[in-house]
Chain A
Amino acid sequence: MKRIYYIIAIVSVMLSACSKDYLETSPTNQISDQDVFQTADGAQTVLDGIIRYMREYNSQHDDFGVKAVDLAQDLMGEDIAVERFHWFGYDYRIDNRNATYRRVNKTWELYYKMIYGVNGVINNIDDATSDNEAYKNNLKAQALTLRAFSYFRLIQMYQFTYKGHESAPGVPLYLEGTVEGKPRGTVSDVYTQVVADLDEAISLFQSSDLPQRHIADPTLNIAQGIRARVALVMNDWSTAASMAQAARQGYDIMTPDEYAAGFDSYAQQNWMWGLEINDEQSTIYASWFSHMDWTIGGYCGLGYSPKSYSLALYNEMDDSDIRKQLIDATDAASGRLIPYKFASGGDKEFAADYVMMRPEEMLLIEAEARARDGQDSQAQTLLKELRDSRYSSPATVDQTGTDLINEILLERRIELWGEGFRGLDIKRLKIGVDRTNSNHDPVVAVNMTMPAESKYFIYQIPQDEIDANDNIGEGDQND
């Protein structure tokens, strides 16, 4: 009798065991990497994810993707005067470049994360299911454009400019996903890859010939535009001029009214490439407009870190210039010049779009390239074309040679103020920074001058990279 109880109890314990799939669970908000690239639509989803990532808030309020990097670079120049030490304070002091600093690490991670993503698309798209070959080619071209964009940004920030530094250490190149770190290579290795990616992208765009689906999607014009930027840095004037000219085909120079519209909506202004933002996807305080816009309650507007227009640059401007009229200089005595270029108040507010590329920049690249190539009259015409649509009365452009180049560079500072070009231009042009005789507060700025090609203009390789990458050691570090 007793034995029966034993048996019953033990058998019942056995019986209560669970079925085999009891322990199989999977997430509801993630998808396995094997399933993603099965289809071309899957690859498109990855590209959309990268574009979102380019404008997403990551760790801190000064870390919101590619425009945070642009702002950090811009603040290292002399055209923006910051009233208070706050977010981006060390960038403004031109002292945010050490291997362990957050800016240095987050910037590195941002572009390399993008590169990991686009490499997935580039290497898998050919095998993805789709009956539309043009669609696949277009996606691949977009991915190549973004890869070139990323490497081009990286090499400009983690090393001096191309010219004169061709054989200096570059940044590691990855053409496919791996967990093994690559060596730094050289600057020219990186530029070679960037040029190759852009050339392939341009040819794929031309063969696929699809319309742009969304303002954030890379297109033929954008690939050509980046190619023009690269050529300018490489001092390849003819390519810079021809690519810049090709890039802005189909895009008109903004009218003064459009220029005054606040730079907050791709629909109101004639942009080639922009990152659209809506209410839901706005990063609010951790956003470009929070830090730059005086008309909304962000870090700038609330007074934590007001960004003034440089008094020195302001004094160079023509009084009839719409761009000068957008600056409120009534309080200039106290050093405050309020620029209303970026003005989303009462309009898009924190859902304001980010500008990534516009035809005026292309015009200025072409003008500069032609001037440097000795084609002064074409350059004068281009500069006049831009000034005529900024000044209330027709402009006269009669400078030649170096004077003409300087006029174009001045125009570049004025036209592209605050858009993330000045810091990179300082490196490209091998000039220093002089913030004296302007409205920079030495308590906030600390470094009022910085010599040309100072190590403070370039970031060190992140310490985490050196520690974890077997192919990069302390000896490979930037000074």
Chain B
Amino acid sequence: MKKFALLLIGIAIFGVLMVEAQVKSISGIVTSSEDGTGIPGVSVIVKGTTIGTVTNIDGYYQINVPEDAEMLVFSFVGMKTQELPIEGSVVDATLNPDVIGVDEVMVVAYGTAKKESFTGSASTVKSENLEKIQTSSITKALQGMSAGVTVTSGSGQPGANATIRIRGISTFGDADPLIVVDGFPFDGNINSITTEDIESMTILKDASATALYGSRAANGVIMITTKKGRQGTSNFEVKASYGFNSRAIEEYDRVNVPQYYELQWEGIRNALMAAGSSASEAAAAASEQLIPTLGGYNAYNVPNNQVVGTNGNITSTGQLLWTDDWQEEAFVNGNRQEVTLNASGGTEKLDYFLSGSVLDDEGIIKASEFRRYSVRANVNSQLKDWVKVGLNLSGSLSRQNFPASSGSSYVNSFMFTRNIAPIYPVYLYDLDGVLQTDAEGNKIYDYGNEFGRSRAYGSSINPLGTIELDTRAYGRDIFTMRTYADFRIMDGLNFKVSMSADYNNYSGLTHQNQKYGDAVNFQGRSTRSTGRTFSYTANELLTYDKSFGDHHVNVLAGHENYKYKYNWLTATRTGFPFPGLVELDAAASAEGSGSYEHNYRIESYLAKVDYDYKDRYYASFNFRTDGNSRFAEDVRWGQFWGAGVSWRISEESFMNDVAWINSLRLKASYGEQGSDRIGSYYAYQGLYETGWNNIDYPGLLASRLATPNLTWEALKSTNIGAEIKFLDRFSVNFEYYIRNNEDLLFEKPLAPSTGFTSIDENIAELQNKGFEVEIGAFLVNRNDFKWNLDLNLSHNTNEIKSIPQDFIISGSKRWEVGKSIYDFWIQDYAGVNPQNGKSQWYYDVQEVDGNGDPVFDDNGDPVLTGERDVTEVYSDADRYYVGSAIPDLTGGVINNFEFFNFDLSIMMNFGIDGKVLDGSYQGLMHGGTYGTHWHADILDRWTPENANTDVPIIDGDQDANSRSTRFLVDGDYLNFRSVNLGYTFPTTLIERINVQSLRLYVAADNVMLFSKRKGLDPQQSLSGTPGNQYSPIRTIAFGLNVKF
């Protein structure tokens, strides 16, 4: 840090010595072609220099320019840039709206670029669209927004982040893109950033665009830029919304109480018959055993053995004693409230953006909530002619309550309420069906173990009860800083020092109550954990920007270092005497504690050269070398680069006559990047892990074999693209890419008998190929009616090019050269044997020799005849490739309408032709698991009368409903992501009350999802294996935006 200070002082002293050149004064007014009024905040720059100013509130500007200055460039967001020669001392300009973004400027690595001149591949998501989505994590707003970006919704828990993949699955390991906020890699949690603070999100997709992020770039980069004040304006804005949350994905269709009893009766009878009983014995025994088997739960007011008679029919006289509905009790309609205030503005020398926001998002199950308070201040000042400084500070305090909502734990309410049989009540009833209450008259939850009962599903557990008594929450405090000083050393040459710091403090508390559930035996248990992340990045960059006649170059060279430190501390105690007192101090016995620290550092040098000739031919070269602490000294430094060219055909003289084309260009790029996300900060070292203590004796266990040659994963990517804008209202962008991911880190399987199941090596290769189309169309552009359509389409194929074994099985997938990382490899269902109702699967017939013994080849592999036959023994079934989870085509459609003062936005996204293994449905199609609910499709099970069906007999056979193609469905979906309808009051009405603009709106998120099966959410999981997880939330909200 000392070096920095010296540096700053040194530069400052020399800067002061700058000699001012001869100048002249120019002034003028900039107006809009639409209504002729002055436009405030227009940037006015002397072409080829950084000398510039902005217009004031009336559109007036005044600027001192060098004597030899020839051209002024006027630019403003949403307007076409205009260049005018300096003739005399007054230069007025009239700007035309730019509906198709010909002059759009976007944020790219280490700077900004005009979209037309950019040789790489990047998509920008507009804040106008982002702001229409109501979400607690901006990651979820990206669904369907941009070509080449796959967003899986994951958990619907408020505050949960989505999983994002850019241009396919680039690795077997961590494929998350690098998140860059205001120019620096971000170590906070992205859910701390308020949507309203975001000016734009740019997704960098190819080598040319990402090369400057070197060893962290291979998974793509998402650049988030926060808002700043606009010069010449002064605004105060209030945005508020209030909404209601509900479950967006409906429950599967399931059977009712009488059906459930009858089916279980049938299962018991069939099992007894399979074990040798006669039909009548079995039927009688089933009637007797039914209620005891289900744990003593008789929901009818008839004797246990009469609930289902020996004829298999439900009692005709009995009345239901209870009708509790688990889902009605568990799910709530939480509220969502968000209020944002911001003040922004700027003068020629200073701009500022200040904001504060409060969000409270209550989720759809009890106790689920995300609350966030955040503030931001972004101030930039042109301190002197030769130095500009800026500081962007943000703070965010958030708290998330996240009751268990994924996985197979019984306290996961989504799983529990889906899978518990309908015969079990939520609340406690005695054997006569009388609802039990406590001393205060409140209902008591049924934990499945009172009155001599023993519930067959989730015994001793009631997630509705424990959710209220347990705590699963964390608080997260994130503070970020971005600051810089940019010195103009001479015309075109700048030296910029910048620094970022992210502080991320996590404090989690889980408490399991002492009355019910997991921790009863311990009189309650609490775990307190804190994680503290502090990271900073500092860089020093030299830039040189100069035009020489028709040639223009922009050069950047710099040094950067990154330092990351993480500290973790956790402690657990048990023995809590007082309900509600859940902090560790309240408890008696220490159960465990621990702490550790991680350090991670990168040092880099980087350079970039952009060149263009006549604004027509562009070439760009980027280079970065990283030294990375994750790797051994000998292989620590790596070189990464990217190069791109583009050609604006429309600027050629031969295109002058083709007036209907606004812009036409071609581009191509190639480069090599890396990814250092190899799962460990100390990957090269052979290690023994501490903490394997035997009572009071410290113990170590071998945890890692030394891998001194381990290095980053490499990406070699090629991108070509063409873009056309025509008729002033249409734009089409097409890109094709090939991404070769090499040196992928792979846990190369070892024979487990060596003591390790795998060793990490950079040996695997993947390829992602695909195309992307982005279409923008102003279908209608009249004053009283506008219709803007944005459509994006992406197609990606993923192929394994190399793995260290012939094939590797990974759950329901098998990896093999030529297949994709998400190709299902499972048992192929051959339907039900109509004779006996048993499930059948295919298997490959093995050749046998003369003695009837199976034949093996020299490698010891079975020799197959090529025939397939069916078997009723699941473990004898073979597995086959039966399709990929990766959709052939994904896309998004965004419609924006304006009709008089109304505006309407409808956003949709879809996926076509991917497979989904519906595990939740499979769980509801069991062969008679006591106490587990059934999908209504079970009504079509095999019986002697219903022999032609795909659903096997219910006889307790667990294998009958094991994973197979029977549960594989087409994952096609169409999701109405958001609908937003607004009304903006006419200016004439609101001027009187000093309001600039006022918009009221109603918005709905996750409006509707169409998929192959009610209850199935194909978007939940990238790998096509959705589970019993927190459903996405449907939010319907009312809001207003007021700008003063």
Mark A residues whose CB is within 8 Å of B. 2, 4-6, 8-10, 12-18, 22-34, 36, 42, 44-53, 56, 84-85, 89, 95, 98, 100, 105, 108-109, 112-113, 115-117, 119-120, 171-172, 174, 177-182, 214, 216, 276, 278-281, 284-285, 296-297, 302-304, 334, 349-350, 442-444, 446, 448, 462-465, 467-469, 472-476
Contacts and interface: CB of A to CB of B under 8 A. Distances in A.
B483 interface: no
A32 B292 CA distance: 57
Contacts of A108: 752-753
**Main SS at interface, chain B:** mixed
Interface residues of B, number: 104
Contact of A52 (B295, B694, B754): B694
B712 to A, nearest CB: 14
| Max chain A Cβ within 10 angstroms of own Cβ: one of B460, B518, B687, B697 | B697
B9 to A, nearest CB: 11
Nearest to B267: A443
A116 B756 contact: yes
Contacts of B808: 467
A474 B755 contact: no
A429 B753 CA distance: 28
Most chain B CB inside 10 Å of its own CB: which residue of A9, A53, A89: A9
30 contacts: A5-B489, A13-B542, A15-B3, A16-B540, A22-B629, A23-B601, A23-B627, A23-B628, A23-B636, A27-B682, A29-B690, A29-B691, A30-B689, A32-B686, A33-B706, A45-B697, A46-B688, A48-B697, A48-B700, A109-B752, A180-B751, A279-B574, A279-B589, A281-B693, A285-B518, A302-B449, A303-B454, A304-B459, A446-B957, A467-B805
Nearest to B564: A25
A39 to B, nearest CB: 12
A296 B594 CA distance: 28
Given A8-B10, A48-B699, A443-B271, A25 B599 contact: yes
A181 B690 contact: no
A85 B932 CA distance: 12
A476 B682 CA distance: 38
Q: Please name the 10 residue pairs, one residue from A and one from B, whose CB atoms are nearest each other, closest first.
A: A116-B755, A473-B860, A181-B751, A475-B860, A49-B699, A469-B751, A48-B699, A442-B275, A49-B692, A33-B686
B268 interface: yes
A193 to B, nearest CB: 14
Contacts of B629: 22-25
A443 B267 CA distance: 9
A89 B693 contact: no
A476 B861 CA distance: 10
Interface stretch (B240-248, B553-561, B644-652, B738-746): B553-561
Contacts of A302: 449, 459-460
Contacts of A180: 751, 754
B956 A443 contact: yes
B860 A45 contact: no
A25 B295 CA distance: 57
Contacts of B859: 473-474
Given A5-B495, A279-B522, 6 more contacts: A5-B493, A16-B540, A42-B700, A116-B702, A171-B753, A182-B751
Interface in B173-210: none
Contact of B695 (A15, A119, A276): A276
B805 A9 contact: no
B235 interface: no
Interface in B867-900: 875
B305 to A, nearest CB: 14
Contacts of B759: 179
A84 B292 CA distance: 12
B603 interface: yes
B383 interface: no
A14 to B, nearest CB: 8
Given A105-B752, A467-B749, A28 B490 contact: no
B521 interface: yes
B10 A12 contact: yes
Contacts of B493: 5-6, 9
A61 B445 CA distance: 27
Contacts of B985: none
A474 B860 contact: yes
A468 B749 CA distance: 6
B750 interface: yes
B808 to A, nearest CB: 8
A183 B957 CA distance: 37
A86 B1042 CA distance: 59
A334 B292 contact: yes
Contacts of B860: 473-476
Interface in B724-762: 749-757, 759
A26 B907 CA distance: 48
A280 B489 contact: no
Given A15-B3, A26-B685, A443-B271, A45 B756 contact: no
B967 interface: no
Interface in B378-432: none
Given A297-B460, A442-B271, A442-B275, A216 B956 contact: no
A112 B518 CA distance: 33
A12 B692 contact: no
A465 B750 CA distance: 8
Given A334-B292, A443-B956, A476-B860, A31 B752 contact: no
Nearest to A10: B542
A306 to B, nearest CB: 8
A29 B704 CA distance: 13
A32 B694 contact: no
B695 A12 contact: no
B252 interface: no
Chain B CB count within 10 A is highest, among A31, A36, A98, A108, for A31
A36 B687 CA distance: 9
A5 to B, nearest CB: 4
A32 B685 CA distance: 7
B706 A12 contact: no
Contacts of B540: 12-13, 16
B1044 interface: no
B995 interface: no
Contacts of A51: 694, 699
B780 interface: no
Interface in B570-610: 574, 589-592, 594, 596-603
Contacts of A278: 695
Interface in B529-566: 538, 540, 542, 557-559, 561
Nearest to B873: A95
A120 B518 CA distance: 39
Nearest to A470: B751
A448 B277 CA distance: 14
Nearest to B495: A9
Nearest to A276: B695
Nearest to A12: B7
Contacts of B750: 179, 181, 468
A262 to B, nearest CB: 15
B451 interface: no
Contact of A469 (B687, B689, B702, B753): B753
A23 B603 contact: yes
A453 B76 CA distance: 85
B89 to A, nearest CB: 30
Interface in B443-494: 448-449, 454-456, 459-460, 489-490, 493
Given A8-B10, A25-B600, A279-B591, A31 B753 contact: no
A181 B753 contact: yes
Contacts of B594: 29
B700 A174 contact: no
A109 B700 CA distance: 17
B686 A34 contact: yes
B856 A25 contact: no
A36 B700 contact: yes
Contacts of A214: 694-695, 697
Contact of B702 (A12, A22, A117, A464): A117
